[in-house]
Amino acid sequence: MTDHALPDWRDALPWPSVDTHKHRRGRLGVVSGKATQTGAARLAARAGLRIGAGVVRILCPPDAAPVIAPAIEAIMLTAFTGSETLFEAAEGMDAVVVGPAAGVNDATVINIHALAETGAALVIDADGLTAFEHRAADLFQVLDRDDVLTPHEGEFKRLFPGLLDLGREEAARIASERARAVVVLKGPATVIAAPDGRVAVNDNGTPWLATAGSGDVLAGMIGGLIAQRMDSFDSARAAVWMHAEAARGFGPGLIAEDLPERLPGVLAALYAQAAT
Ligand SMILES: NC(=O)C1=CN([C@@H]2O[C@H](COP(=O)(O)OP(=O)(O)OC[C@H]3O[C@@H](n4cnc5c(N)ncnc54)[C@H](OP(=O)(O)O)[C@@H]3O)[C@@H](O)[C@H]2O)[C@@H](O)CC1
Ligand SMILES: Nc1ncnc2c1ncn2[C@@H]1O[C@H](COP(=O)(O)OP(=O)(O)O)[C@@H](O)[C@H]1O
């Protein structure tokens, strides 16, 4: 089943009820890289907050804390020293984004294994995917259908060598089945596939998104929607569409920092339509 008619997910968007509070609106964690590589996590965290998660916390190595602390306000921060303390910090979270600027190394692999034990839905991007090159089965065995992988084509080839020869839609469908998780194959026409066979092709992409950090923002948006308990496949479809809509609304000169700031406008338009 291929769906070209987005956005039919609009009715599934998580609008807050009158009796909600910030914890009920969803707790999102974002794992940061080391001190010199904290921007990606801050972009993802801000996007997660803008898309409505009630509480967003960056989890960082100790050396990164003094860099991140002066650069955040509503977003909270907890340092972790290894996979055990990362597990403790992430317990109770609804969703965790991991991978942006995490480092392609064993620590990233071990951290993802620890996060998979927390029960939070994982959104795994960038280095969190590349770190499993040549050992993809190690990743797939800890995933479940709520988790989301967000590879660009380079990352996709590292986890699923040869699969792209079948075409992007078929490749994403098979990848999702193999990984037992939602797969978001990014690009001009991003393909979103779920392990139950659902496949959607996003139709509002724009090349203004080809700018450093825009994928980190997307990962944060997906995590922010999942934290609000939207189905992971719908979260991915909705985030991909809103991400592109935000970029289209900005146009020339867009940088990744602009995307979270355009989200209120995109959300407001969807909210108005949902209310009619
Ligand atoms: N502000 C920050 O802190 C930011 C931090 N960031 C962090 O930086 C790290 C590196 O991220 P990355 O994406 O550049 O790295 P990675 O995939 O290892 O290598 C790129 C190679 O893959 C290939 N390639 C093939 N298809 C491709 C495609 N569709 N899109 C892109 N590449 C494609 C291509 O090779 P080519 O095809 O040109 O031979 C290219 O040379 C990572 O930790 C990330 O999280 C970024 O998020 C930016 C903002
Ligand atoms: N030519 C393009 N047309 C439409 N969208 C694009 C294009 N190039 C990149 N994108 C989008 O921009 C984002 C880039 O993500 P990614 O490659 O992970 O970048 P980064 O690692 O710098 O954050 C993805 O959402 C992708 O779909």
Of the listed ligands, the closest to the CA of 222 is 2
pLDDT score recorded for residue 276: 62
pLDDT of residue 75 exceeding 50? yes
Residue 135: inside a domain: yes
Q: Is the CB of 69 under 6 A from ligand 2?
A: no
Residue 3: inside a domain: no
pLDDT score recorded for residue 8: 84
**Separation of 212 CA from ligand 2 center, angstroms?**
8
Q: Which residues of 52-88 are buried (b: 16+ CB within 10 A; e: fewer)?
A: bbbbbbbbbbeebbebbeeebeebebebbeebeebbe
pLDDT of residue 152 exceeding 80? yes
Distance between CA atoms of 95 and 21, rounded to whole angstroms?
17
Residues in the chain, how many?
Answer: 276
Of the pLDDT bands very low, low, confident and very high (cuts 50, 70, 90), residue 4 is: very low
Interface predicted TM-score of the whole assembly (ipTM), two decimals: 0.97
Which of 65-69, 235-239, 242-246, 269-273 has the least mean pLDDT? 269-273
Residue 144: inside a domain: yes
Does pTM top 0.90 for this prediction?
A: yes
**Separation of 71 CA from ligand 1 center, angstroms?**
24
Task: Dump pLDDT digits (tens) for 16-55.
Answer: 999 999 999 999 999 999 999 999 999 999 999 999 999 9
Task: Dump pLDDT digits (tens) for 200-234.
Answer: 999 999 999 999 999 999 999 999 999 999 999 99
Task: Give the residue, out of 208, 209, 221, 248, with the most ligand 2 atoms within 8 A of its beta carbon, to mutate for a pocket test.
Answer: 209
DSSP tag of 16: P
Ligand 2 nearest atom to the CA of residue 205, by list position: 4
| Residue 93 exposure: Cα atoms within 13 Å on the Cβ side | 34
Distance between CA atoms of 119 and 132, rounded to whole angstroms?
21
Domain of 250, in residue numbers: 23-271
pLDDT of residue 3 exceeding 50? no
> What are the tokens at 139?
């990743």
Task: Dump pLDDT digits (tens) for 99-118.
Answer: 999 999 999 999 999 999 99
Q: What is the mean pLDDT of the chain?
A: 96
Stretch 178-197: mean pLDDT: 98
For ligand 2, atom 9, name the residue with the nearest CA: 210
Please report, for the domain that includes residue 156, its CATH number: 3.40.1190.20
Ligand 1 nearest atom to the CA of residue 127, by list position: 43
Residue 9: inside a domain: no
Number of independent structural domains in the chain: 1
Secondary structure (H, E, C), 234-271: HHHHHHHHHHHHHHHHHCCCCCCCHHHHHHHHHHHHHH
Residue 122: inside a domain: yes
Residue 58: inside a domain: yes
Q: Is the CB of 212 under 6 A from ligand 2?
A: yes
Strand partners, 27: 55
Residue 10: inside a domain: no
Q: Which of 191, 145, 140 has the alpha carbon at shortest distance from 167?
A: 191
Q: Is the CB of 182 under 6 A from ligand 2?
A: no
